[in-house]
Amino acid sequence: MNNVDFILRIKYNKNMNDDMNDEQKDMLNDLAALVAVPSVVSEPAPGAPFGAENRRALDTFLARAAALGLRTGNDDGYAGWAEYGEGELVVGVLAHLDVVPAGENWTSPPFELTVKDGCICGRGVSDDKGPLVACLYALARLVREKRALHGRVRLIAGCNEEEGSACIKHYVSCCELPRVSFTPDSDFPVTASEKGILHAEILLPRCEDTAARLISLFGGVRPNVVPDFCRALVATSSAADSGYAALEEKGVSAHGSTPEKGVNAITKLLPKLSALLPSDDGLKRAAELLCGKDAPARLGLGKSDVTGKTTVNVGLCSMKDGRISLTLDLRLPAAYPPPAAVKALRSALPGADVKVLHVASPLVHDENGALVRTLTEVYRRETGDLDAAPLHIGGGTYAKELPNCAAFGAVFPGVETHMHEADERYPLTDFMRLTDIYYDAIVSLDEAFGKTNGK
C-alpha cells in the first residue's frame, strides 16, 4: 500500500510530523502497514502454514525489504529473510511477524497504528513488529551507506513465535544458519541466561469423599499465567448453608515465570478446600506443599544457581474423573534438569500422577563471551547506562530457537508495554532510538566475529 495512505491514517499531530526525519516517517509508515495486518496464527493454506494473514504480513515485510535494497528470501511462508553484505560469516537477527489475538478492552483500534500519550499503540508494536521494523531500517542504513562488513547480516522474520516457533524450527531444518544472532523480542540490556521450563499436570490421589462431594473446581487460564480467580462448590451436610459451600478467591495475574509479582487465587483457595474435605490426605499434603512463598523448598525443588532459583506457579486447577488436577509451571535453574524436578514432585506427592506437558531446555551464554560482551557494550555505549549488566530470566525467548543467539531488547528497563494485553504500546522516543542501537549491534557483532572468529 501507498505510504501516503498510511501517514494519513497514523493519528499524530503535525508538530511531531515536522520533528521526524524521513527515515523515521518511513519506519512509522512501514510499522503501520504491518500492524494493519491481523497476523494471528490461523488455519493453514497453501504457502501459508500459519494462515493467510501471516502470509500477508510476510509478503508486506519482504516487499518493503526489497524496496529498501535488501536481498530477500521466503521459506515457504514459514519465515522470510532480508539480507545485506557478502561473505561466509552471517550475523543473524531473529524477529517475528505473528501476534497474539487482540482480546477485549482496547481504547484504540488494535490493528491500526495510533500515536497517543507519547506512545505508538496497536497489536505488535512492542512484540514484535516494532522491533522488527527498527532492525529492518538498521539493515537499510547499511545499504544506503554501502557499509563494508566482514560478512553478511540476515534479518529473519518468523510467523509462528507465539504458538510454538514452528516457523524457525522449519527454517533451521532447511535454511542457512547464522553463526551468531540476537533477537529483539525481550528486554534490554541483554539476556545471558534463561531458566529451563517444565509444565506438569498433577492428578492427586483419588479420595472417595472428595469424588462424592466436590461438585466443581476451576481456576486459571493457562499454566504460564498466575491465576486471578478460583472457584469450588462442595456438598456439605450442614443445613445452615443449604447443603452447599461455595468457595471463591480472587488473585492478581502475572507471568508464570515471575509468580512473586502476582497473587495466586488457586493457592489461596486450596487450604480452605482442604479444610472442607478433611479426609482427603492427598489434597491436604498438596495444600501444605504448594501454597506459600517457600513452595519450591517444601516440594524439594529449592535449587538455585547463576540463572536464578526455582519458581513454581500453580496455573490451573479442575476436577478430572473425580480427582483434583493441578497444572504447575516450574522455572528451573540451568543446572537442575527437568527429569530431576519430576522425580522430586513424585516423591513429594506420593500417590499422585505427575504428567509432563511441556519441557524447554535452559539457555546459558558465557557472560564474558563475545556475544553477550559485545551486546552489553553496545547497549552501554548507545544509552549511556554504564552500569547495565546482562540479565538472567525465567521466561523463554525466541533466542532458544537458534544456536548462539541472545535476546537483546527491545523493551527498556522499567517501561511497561502491555505486551499480550489490551492497549499494547511502545514509547515513540524509544522506538526512534532502536535503529541506532540495532545498527551498532550488527556492525559490532560483524566486527567481533569477523575479525577474531568470536573468540
Give the shortest CB-175-to-Zn ion separation in angstroms: 20
The minimum distance between CB 259 and Zn ion, in angstroms, equals 21
Specify the stretch interacting with Zn ion by CB under 5 A; choose among 178-186, 206-214, 353-361, 421-429. 178-186
Cell 502475572 found at: 254
Smallest distance from Zn ion to CB 163, Å: 11
185 binds Zn ion (CB under 5 A): yes
Part in contact with Zn ion (CB under 5 A); list of ranges 80-88, 114-122, 127-135, 315-323: 127-135
In residues, how long is the chain? 455
CB of 437 to Zn ion, least distance (A): 18
The single-letter code of the amino acid at 241 is: D
CA distance 383 to 377: 10
Q: Choose between 185 and 201: whose C-beta lies nearer to Zn ion.
A: 185
In sequence order, what DSSP letters do the residues of 268-296 get, joined into one string?
A: HHHHHHHHHSTT-HHHHHHHHHHSSTTHH
Residue closer to Zn ion by CB (options 83, 98) is: 98
Contact 234, 215 (CB under 8 A): yes
Smallest gap from Cβ 398 to Zn ion, in A, equals 6
Q: Report how many residues bind Zn ion under the rule CB under 5 A.
A: 3
Q: In what order do the strands lie in the sheet with 353-360?
A: 244-250, 229-235, 214-219, 311-320, 323-332, 196-203, 353-360
As given in the structure block, the three cell numbers for residue 106 are 482496547
Tell me if 446 sits within 8 A of 151, measured CB to CB: yes
Which is nearest to 160 in space by CA: 235, 234, 246, 75? Answer: 75
Taking alpha carbons only, the member of 103, 97, 19 closest to residue 56 is 97
Nearest of 307, 305, 309, 275 to residue 291 by alpha carbon: 275
Q: Does 401 bind Zn ion (CB under 5 A)?
A: no
CB of 94 to Zn ion, least distance (A): 10
Q: Locate 103 and state its grid cell.
A: 482480546
The residue range among 33-41, 179-187, 274-282, 353-361 that interacts with Zn ion, by the rule CB under 5 A, is 179-187
CB closer to Zn ion out of 99 and 203: 99
C-beta of 41 vs 202, nearer to Zn ion: 41
95 DSSP assignment: E
128 forms part of the interface with Zn ion (CB under 5 A): yes
Query: In this complex, which beta carbon is closest to Zn ion, that of residue 24 or of residue 258?
Result: 258
Point out which span in 30-38, 58-66, 124-132, 217-225 binds Zn ion (CB under 5 A).
Answer: 124-132
3-state secondary structure 311-332: EEEEEEEEEECCEEEEEEEEEE
Shortest separation between residue 325's beta carbon and Zn ion, angstroms: 29
Please choose, out of 126-134, 167-175, 216-224, 430-438, the segment that lies near Zn ion by the rule CB under 5 A: 126-134
Least distance (Å) from Zn ion to the CB of residue 220? 22
Name the residues that contact Zn ion, by CB under 5 A: 127-128, 185
